[in-house]
Amino acid sequence: MNEHFVCIKVDREERPDLDKVYQLAHHLLTRQTGGWPLTVFLDPDTLIPFFAGTYFPKTPRFQLPGFNDLLLRITQVFTERRSELTEQGQRVQDVLSNLDESEVPNEASEQDDRALLTEAREQLGQQYDPMEGGFGQAPKFPMPSTLERLLRHWAAASRDGEGDREALDMVMTTLTKMARGGIYDHLGGGFCRYSVDRTWMIPHFEKMLYDNGQLLSLYADAVGITSDELFSGALTETADWLLREMRDPKGGFFAALDADSEGEEGKFYVWRRDQVKRLLTEQEYLIIETLYGLDKSANFEGRWHLHRRDAWRSVVDRLSLDREAADAALASAKYK
């Protein structure tokens, strides 16, 4: 695909605004209802869609062209009939522009930037989950761009002398809940795509490159603000995971890790108590059991998916351990 196309993946869960535009473009181009997955080809100069479709199999079947054949055909048409595609794209652009204009009666009614950003901030506050962090109920997504928007709002308000501590608290609470939760891989580093529950405990076990790239930036900003060891640990371990497991030998990065391992979702991420006990010393097991919830009921089909309910410092104090020795024992246990 990279020979003729620049491939861009859009997550409709996190960017429904973009999904709406391209679903409409698909309808205009095909006169058919859309759906997912959605494949849209854009003119590289204008970014206007000129061809769209939903599912395409790898090889021809069900009266659908194979995706490889489709790519070759698109390349040929784009090269040989560029002017026709430009005209078609302009018609799509005209329709989209008319829709935009119908939503804005006149310039005088438009909000200025500050009012628009303030309104966005208020809407995010209404969607925020004050108990568990994040936005909405379940499934719950990391939404790094949304958290960055709140962080930027807090920073701008602070510079203006207005302050918005609530915006900062929304970000920090969400980052804390995620880094303690099961959406984070406490042994290997990296965040899964989303949590199936409100409390971030059980994820869909797929790990996405783009989510983790954005979360690296976000946690780095958070470390700059608070120096929280939970944040710095998640930041370092996620960067290590990206470099260790996600790099292709040719130099690029893989887009994702599948949710299934050997045909079973989450197989490489869940444990039985006896498995853990066999690997660890008595003190190491006590630390892992207390920190990651093995002393509670199994949370994933009779097995344990690791998550944290408390701060590491609190666990050390509760077990009456020396901090330096406890840090070493935790690192050894996680490595094993």
DSSP 105-150: --GGGSPPHHHHHHHHHHHHHHHB-TTT-SBSSSSB---HHHHHHH
- Mean pLDDT for the stretch of residues 22-45: 88
pLDDT at 261 over 80: yes
- Mean pLDDT for the stretch of residues 170-174: 97
Model pLDDT for residues 87-145, shown as the tens digit of each residue: 887 888 888 777 665 554 455 445 688 888 889 999 999 999 999 999 988 899 999 99
Question: Can you give the pLDDT at residue 278?
Answer: 96
> How far apart are alpha carbons 156 and 20 in whole angstroms?
30
Question: Can you give the pLDDT at residue 165?
Answer: 93
**DSSP H helical segments within the chain, as ranges?**
16-30, 67-80, 82-103, 113-127, 144-159, 165-180, 209-226, 229-245, 273-279, 282-292, 312-318, 323-335
Model pLDDT for residues 47-64, shown as the tens digit of each residue: 888 889 988 888 888 778
What is the average pLDDT value for the chain, to the nearest integer?
A: 90
**Closest by Cα among 185, 194, 176 to 241:** 185
Distance of CA 119 to the CA centre of its chain: 24
Using an 8 Å Cβ cutoff, are 163 and 180 in contact?
A: no
Question: Can you give the pLDDT at residue 113?
Answer: 82
Q: Which residue has the tokens 């379940």?
A: 138
Q: How is residue 158 written in tokens?
A: 């602070």
Percent of the chain with pLDDT over 70: 96
**Closest by Cα among 181, 176, 153, 174 to 165:** 153
Question: Can you give the pLDDT at residue 101?
Answer: 55
Buried b (16+ CB within 10 A) or exposed e, 180-200: bbbbbbbbbbbbbbbbebbbb
3-state secondary structure of 304: strand
Question: Can you give the pLDDT at residue 100?
Answer: 61
User: Is the pTM of the predicted complex or chain greater than 0.85?
Assistant: no
Q: Classify residue 59 as exposed, middle or buried by CB count within 10 Å of its CB (0-12, 13-18, 19+).
A: exposed
Q: Which residue has the tokens 């608290």?
A: 169
Question: Can you give the pLDDT at residue 171?
Answer: 97
Question: Can you give the pLDDT at residue 186?
Answer: 97
φ and ψ at 9, to 5 degrees?
-105, 130
Dihedral of alpha carbons 319, 320, 322, 323, sign: positive
Residues in contact with 276: Cβ distance below 8 Å, sequence separation at least 6, in sequence order = 285, 288, 289, 294
